Amino acid sequence: MQRLIVLAFFALLARPLAAQTVTRLVSEPARVEVVAGQSVPLVVRALGPDGRPVAAPLRVGGSRDGVRLEDGQVTGLAAGEYMIFVSSVPEDGSAPVVLEIPVVVDWPAVERVEVVHDDGRLFVGSRIEHDVVAVHADGSERPYPEASWSSTDPSVASVDDFGNVRGVSPGTVSIVGTVDGVSGRVTHSVSASPVERIVLRGGQAQVRTGDVQNFVATAVAADGSTVSGAPISWSYAYQPDDSIVAPAGPAQILRGRMVADVPGVYTAVASTGGASAEYSFRVVPRGVVRKLDVVGQGREARVFTTDLWIWEGVDGRDYALTGSKFGDGISMVWDVTDPSNIFKTDSIQVDARTTNDVKASPDGRYAAISREGASNRRNGVVILDLADPAHPRVASTFEGNGVTGGVHNMYATNDYLFALAGGDKYVIIDVRDLDRPRYVSEYNHPDSRVHDVWVHDGLAYSAEWGTGVVVVDVGDGRWGGSIESPVFVTSFPLTTGSTHAVFPYYQESTGRFLLIVGDERVQRTGLAWEGTGPDHRQQYDPATGTGGYPRATSGYTQIVDFTDPMNPVQLARYEVSEYGTHNMWVEDDVLYQAYYEGGVRMVDISGDLMGNLYTQGREMAVYKAYDPLGYIPNSAAAWGVMPWKGHIFFADINSGMWAVKMRPTERPVS
């Protein structure tokens, strides 16, 4: 009987079997063709020297953006050409056998096209933006469809290649948008513009870089009445300060909201149908940079350090728990009461290859350690009793209800633990009795992979890669949900499709409820600097001269206005293009961002937000943990960050845990 090795995404297909020599890998089919949203089977066989199948562990990887690999099925996620990589795992140190499987994903056929446009009446000389919604036969929408545009009468209204429609003369005209041969249309009645002038209100004479100006433009007729529905076009002019050279894109303006990235004099311009109005203002440097002092380090160079969590123990002292990756199940307990004298009080070893995530309850009663790669393949979470916080007691292990496949992240409340189960769902566990944790309920979003969950005021916010953010009522009650019976509220995708972490935050200065959403892209494919390859995760090997390289990441943090859960609005982003984001924290209008090889970074997110916060001078401080004695020496790789009692604690993959502190400044942040 032939033994078939089926695919699991980014998994090591290990089995308790004797090692057998692999000389070739083959797949059926050799080339995968699939339609986005559909799945096809894929089988990989490992062949031995005699050409017959052998039982052997295989390592499998692929593009998270384009395909999903699960249970022997390849599911198309987004149109494009991708590659699945399969390699053997030789135990004798020899070079692995590698197989590359091409994957082509096509979009489903478009069944219907709808032309949509900004509100407003089309006057002669005015402009209205148009777009299309392309719907597939299965009801799904084509993301970012590319349309071709035409006008049934260009003498009445013209349309350019981007859907911008301009009135030319009075009359009736239809604007047609076509996607993959399927067309939709909208009809306009073009009339002469009654607008004589525009009144522009709002704006301050001087603001800082990153401050958002809000303008309101009112179209006025010759008799002084307001012209309703007049389409307003927005633009700006820029005069740089003498001290700088003007950059290519010094500001953004969108529907009356404007933000400047660099100092200078700006002029906001509103126009329609031949009438226009202007408002000029000066922009000065934001001036929020603060000095940063390194206070202490809890060095750990034997294993990769993963996440950290800090709590106040029942004895009144402050403690931290850190996890490890490929560390044989080791987690560390630290006393951080004096951040200048961080010391280890204990270590906890559980049956796992990786203890990726650690959490402690707000009341300091218990902690939890996630498990991946357990020898018995049951994984789950380990519950710690923190009655003696310096030396936690292993109270129990919860292994049931799907968490056997591996727990990557968790969220702890005083009574319940939310644990991710195999990246597919999260399970809610009652931990009021630490020695007897009990399954309560779970939530599994359809056709989605979950990576993180955070609970705030009875709502669970989960980061689910291409699906984006999923919101579930687990006790808020407005949508009928409870801890025993979670109810779906809403979901929305993010720009990059790499949604990895989410942090809910109420911003008092604006009254907005924000979601801070982080990407994770542990690769830089297609960028000029793509990194050093797979060896970046290994220690330097003097025998082969490989390993010991810094990792290479990309992606950024996105800030969403979630005040109205049914109508989320993407406000801004924080993107440092040379690096990639990981975990974050927000407190008192400061974003604390662990930015992998970009170090730990503190960002002013006060007030209204728009554009890229990085280019606006909103960075307050940055620290990269260079440690010559690190797992990979002098290689910064910030994993997680948590402000605590005036200090900033963060975990660095290669060098353990650190405490830094920003010096006070006389200039207020906001």
Q: Distance between terminal CA atoms of the chain? A: 70
Q: Confidence class of residue 529 from pLDDT cuts 50, 70 and 90? A: confident
pLDDT at 14: 37
SS3 615: helix
Under CATH, to which class is 494-670 assigned? mainly beta
Tokens of 83: 């590659």
> What is the value of pTM for the model shown?
0.88
Nearest to 373 by CA among 351, 401, 402, 396: 351
Q: Collect all residues with Cβ–Cβ distance below 8 Å to 617 and sequence separation of at least 6.
A: 208, 209, 210, 261, 285, 286, 287, 288, 289
| Over residues 253-265, mean pLDDT | 95
> In this model, does residue 62 exceed pLDDT 70?
yes
The chain-wide mean pLDDT, for the chain, equals 91
pLDDT for 618 beyond 70: yes
Among positive and negative, which fits the CA dihedral 608, 613, 618, 621?
positive
Hey, which bits of 42-145 come out as E strands?
43-47, 58-61, 67-70, 73-76, 80-88, 98-106, 110-117, 127-136
Buried b (16+ CB within 10 A) or exposed e, 122-160: bbbbbbbebebbbbbeeeeebeebebebebeeeebbbbe
pLDDT at residue 243, rounded to an integer? 62
Judge whether 110-190 and 199-284 match in fold.
Answer: yes
12 versus 163: the higher-pLDDT residue is 163
pLDDT in tens, 10-21: 333 433 444 578
pLDDT: which is higher, 409 or 72: 409
Beta bridge partners of 140: none
**pLDDT of residue 2 exceeding 60:** no
List the structure tokens of 13: 């297909």
Angle at CA 654, nearest 5°, toward 92 and 291? 165
How much is the pLDDT for 552?
Answer: 86
Q: Identify how many contiguous H helices and E strands the chain contains and give both numbers.
A: 0, 55
The CATH class for the domain spanning 110-190 reads mainly beta
Of the candidates 142, 120, 284, 93, the residue with the CA atom closest to the CA atom of residue 186: 120
User: In the CATH scheme, what is the code of domain 298-444?
Assistant: 2.130.10.10
Torsion of CA 400, 401, 402, 407, to 10 degrees: -60
Confidence class for position 8, pLDDT limits 50, 70, 90: very low
User: 55 pLDDT band (50/70/90 cuts)?
Assistant: confident
Superfamily of domain 199-284 in the CATH hierarchy: Immunoglobulins (2.60.40.10)
Q: What are the domain boundaries of the chain?
A: 5-106, 110-190, 199-284, 298-444, 494-670
Q: What is the pLDDT of residue 647?
A: 98
Domain at 5-106: CATH code: 2.60.40.1080
Residue 72 has pLDDT above 90, yes or no: no
How many angstroms separate the CA atoms of 434 and 396, rounded?
7
Q: What is the pLDDT of residue 322?
A: 98
Q: pLDDT (tens digit, 9 = 90+) per residue, 551-609?
A: 788 899 999 999 999 999 999 999 998 899 999 999 999 999 999 999 999 999 999 99
Instruction: Read off the pLDDT of residues 415-456 as tens digits, 9 standing for 90 and up.
Output: 999 999 988 999 999 999 999 999 999 999 998 889 999 999
What is the structure's pLDDT at 526?
81
pLDDT digits (tens, 9 = 90+) for 171-228: 999 999 999 999 999 999 999 999 999 999 999 999 999 999 999 999 999 999 999 9
CA atoms of 435 and 238, how far apart (whole Å): 65
Confidence category of residue 312, pLDDT binned at 50, 70, 90: very high
Query: Mind listing the pLDDT tens digit for each residue in 364-415?
Result: 999 999 999 998 888 999 999 999 999 999 999 999 888 988 999 999 999 9
Give the per-residue SS3 of 492-550.
Answer: ECCCCCCEEEEEEEEECCCCEEEEEEEECECCCCCCCCCCCCHHHHCCCECCCCECCCC
